[in-house]
């Protein structure tokens, strides 16, 4: 396996420590010197593994950072526990049968289990059901609860080695089996360098599990001592952890999107933490009913279980609240997506259908509450905007360029609209600008602004360097139609008037806006044209011209002749 240059030096130093331990185990018999050499070599390798995983955390993606940080913390805790053992073996010169260092080792392996449960090789996406922070917290609390429930009473409340030993032994064995199953699953579900990583971890955890059994058996017959061949295998396992960390330094996770096995794993992993709370009352009842336990033990276990129920319940409530917020956010995103045009990013007709009644009622309330004729900015103006000669764009440049034109026109209309306005893709190359809280006497100004922003600057054709001139035609009408009788003409009839005005704009030369106001109304800067009747409604048209050819930015000198033709026919 290829490593970086500095990683190779690191790996060589680790190998030298393994060789030194093997040589010491052969040359020295059971002695203070051998115990010291073994203790400090194991400490150095624990620190090495912690630093190696911590380095991965600094150089990896955000997703993997938590994985490597947990592994680094795990081996840092184990290194602290090793210091405790060195103190007892080298300073006190008597290793206790029950030590606080055991708790450190248990906590360290709990951190490793949580880290590998996050599967560092898999790229997590929003589609995956994955372990969240609160799920990890629940699993960590569950592990701590089991240690406090099974081991601590026999160490401090009613010290008893016969009960402490088996409790710690089987709890540690359960940890080993859980970790072994997780890394074995990673081996089966990974490939390439990640598979090599998991193969090495599987071998290390399997050997460590077997060695724990042998050490426990040999210690019972006084055949185990610090520095024996068992420690050489343990040292090799610690060195293997450093090498494993160096092996995947900078290695990106692989995507498992759509993999049913991966989906099933994350789904069950995220659900595993919550049901553990159900065991707490059972364990509390068992402790209360077991009359063979010392009073101090069963009281401690009952109180511990009741406290754990409160803590687990609180975490569960926080998790449920977070899930509800995430669900509400997801629903909002889905709703927003259902009301948005996929191509242009502006609103669609469903948005218009869902919101128009509220807009209309707001306008009617405004007019009903304030009947004074001099109040402004109460009107609702419908602008129907159609791209001129859009079919020619598709025929000459293709539908891909046509889609780009639609996107660009939608962007330009948005830039001309106010924050209170809404831009809707009405259909095909047609858009609706819904202008809220505006003044009918200035409605033609907004139309002029849209004409200018769409038609003043040419559109560059992607991939060819060519430029085309895009113009639009606009028809608009105002709601309510009659200020003195707001309900006389419904809003859908006003939209029909705007549609008629659009056809008037296209029929009279395009690149212009035609608006309709009630007969006799004026606009700022001039008067409207003589009244015409539309569906029996007397209306006065207001015409606003778009930017002329001389106002258009000239194409670049490198523009081919084809551009001029496109501009002329657009």
Q: Over the stretch 15-55, which tens digit does the pLDDT of each residue have?
A: 999 999 999 888 888 888 888 999 999 999 999 999 999 99
Q: Where in the chain is the domain with CATH 1.20.1070?
A: 5-272
Cα separation, 7 vs 13, in Å, equals: 10
pLDDT beyond 60 at 127: no
Q: Provide the CA 250 distance to its chain's centre, in angstroms.
A: 21
Three-state SS for 107?
Answer: helix
Residue 533 forms beta bridges with which residues? Answer: 538
Q: What is the pLDDT of residue 221?
A: 55
Give the number of other CB atoms < 10 A from CB of residue 299: 15
Which residues have C-beta within 8 Å of that of residue 60, sequence separation ≥ 6?
68, 250
Q: With a cut of 80, say whether residue 567 has pLDDT above it.
A: no
**Top CATH class, 5-272:** mainly alpha
Give 262's pLDDT tier (boundaries 50, 70, 90). confident
Cβ–Cβ < 8 Å for 270, 130? yes
Whether residue 98 has pLDDT greater than 90: no
Q: Report the distance separating Cα 386 and Cα 511, nearest Å.
A: 10
Phi, psi torsion values for 291, nearest 5 degrees: -75, -10
How far is Cα 537 from Cα 481, in angstroms, rounded to an integer? Answer: 10
Cα Rg of the chain, angstroms: 38
Strand stretches in 80-174, DSSP E: 122-123
For the chain, the straight-line distance linking the first and the last C-alpha, in angstroms and rounded, comes to 63
Asked which of 123-137, 295-309, 474-488, 505-519 is least confident by mean pLDDT, the reply is: 123-137
Which pTM was predicted? 0.66
What is d(CA 54, CA 70) in angstroms, rounded to the nearest whole number?
9
At how many degrees (to 10) do helices 390-397 and 399-416 cross?
A: 140
Residue-level pLDDT at 373: 53
Q: What span, in angstroms and rounded, lies between the C-alpha atoms of 296 and 53?
A: 42
Where in 3-153 does DSSP place strands (E)? 122-123
Fold of 349-569: Alpha-Beta Plaits (3.30.70)
| Residue 372 pLDDT exceeds 70 | no
User: Could you please report the per-residue DSSP string of 357-420?
Assistant: HHHHHHHHHHHHH---TT--S-EEEEEEEEETTHHHHHHHH-HHHHHHHHHHHHHHHHHHS-TT
In angstroms, rounded to a whole number, what is the distance separating the alpha carbons of residues 209 and 546? 81
Residues 141 and 314: their CA atoms lie apart, in Å, by 12
Report strand pairing: 379-387 vs 472-479: antiparallel
Q: How many CB atoms lie within 10 A of CB 229?
A: 13
- Would the CA dihedral through 368, 371, 373, 376 be positive or negative? negative
Our answer to whether residue 467 is catalytic in this structure is: no
- Residue of 42, 78, 256, 429 marked catalytic: 429
- Residue 562 scores a pLDDT above 70: no
pLDDT tens digits, 431-456: 999 999 888 888 899 999 999 999 98
CATH 3.30.70.270 domain locations along the chain: 349-569
């Amino acid at each position: 396996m290829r490593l970086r240059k500095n990683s190779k030096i690191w790996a060589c130093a680790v190998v030298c420590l393994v060789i030194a331990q093997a040589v010491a185990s052969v040359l020295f018999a059971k002695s203070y010197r051998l115990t010291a050499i073994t203790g400090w070599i194991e400490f150095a390798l624990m620190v090495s593994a912690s630093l190696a995983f911590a380095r991965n955390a600094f150089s990896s993606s955000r997703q993997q950072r938590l994985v490597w940080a947990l592994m680094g913390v795990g081996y840092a805790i184990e290194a602290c526990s090793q210091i405790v053992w060195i103190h007892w073996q080298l300073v006190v010169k008597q290793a206790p049968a029950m030590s606080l260092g055991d708790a450190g080792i248990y906590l360290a392996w709990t951190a490793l289990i949580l880290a590998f449960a996050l599967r560092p090789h898999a790229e997590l996406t929003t589609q995956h059901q994955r372990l969240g922070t609160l799920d990890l917290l629940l699993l960590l609390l569950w592990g701590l609860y089991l240690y406090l429930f099974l081991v601590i009473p026999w160490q401090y409340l009613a010290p008893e080695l016969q009960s402490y030993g088996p409790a710690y032994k089987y709890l540690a064995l359960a940890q080993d089996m859980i970790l072994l199953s997780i890394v074995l699953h990673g081996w089966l579900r990974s490939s390439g360098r990640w598979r090599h990583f998991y193969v090495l971890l599987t071998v290390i955890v399997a050997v460590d599990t077997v060695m724990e059994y042998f050490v426990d058996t040999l210690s019972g017959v006084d055949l185990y001592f610090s520095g024996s061949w068992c420690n050489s295998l343990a040292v090799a396992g610690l060195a293997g952890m450093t090498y494993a960390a160096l092996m995947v330094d900078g290695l990106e996770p692989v995507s498992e999107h759509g993999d049913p096995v991966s989906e099933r794993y994350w789904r069950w992993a995220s659900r595993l933490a919550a049901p553990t709370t159900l065991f707490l009352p059972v364990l509390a009842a068992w402790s209360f009913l077991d009359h063979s336990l010392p009073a101090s033990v069963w009281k401690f276990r009952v109180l511990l279980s009741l406290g754990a129920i409160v803590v687990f319940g609180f975490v569960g409530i926080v998790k449920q609240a977070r899930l509800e917020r995430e669900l509400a956010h997801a629903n909002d995103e889905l709703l927003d997506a259902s009301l948005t045009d996929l191509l242009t990013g502006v609103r669609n007709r469903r948005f218009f259908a869902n919101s128009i009644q509220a807009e209309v009622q707001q306008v009617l309330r405004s007019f009903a509450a304030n009947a004074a004729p001099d109040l402004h900015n109460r009107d609702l103006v419908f602008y129907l905007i159609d791209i001129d000669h859009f079919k020619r764009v598709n025929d000459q440049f293709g539908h891909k360029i046509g889609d780009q034109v639609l996107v660009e026109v939608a962007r330009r209309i948005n830039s001309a609209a106010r924050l209170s306005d809404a831009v809707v893709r009405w259909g095909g190359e047609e858009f609706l600008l819904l202008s809220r809280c505006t003044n009918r006497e200035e409605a033609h100004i907004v139309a002029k602004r849209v004409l200018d922003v769409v038609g003043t600057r040419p559109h560059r054709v992607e991939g060819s360097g060519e430029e085309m001139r895009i113009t639009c035609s606009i028809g608009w009408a105002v709601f309510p139609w009659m200020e003195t009788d707001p309900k006389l003409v419904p809003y859908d009839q006003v939209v029909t008037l705007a549609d008629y005005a659009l056809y008037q704009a296209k029929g009279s030369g395009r690149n212009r806006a035609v608006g309709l106001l009630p007969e006799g109304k004026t606009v700022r800067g001039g008067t409207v044209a003589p009244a015409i009747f539309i569906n029996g409604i007397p209306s006065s048209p207001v015409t606003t011209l778009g930017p002329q050819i001389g106002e258009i930015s000239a194409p670049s000198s490198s523009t081919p002749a084809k551009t001029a033709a496109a501009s002329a026919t657009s």
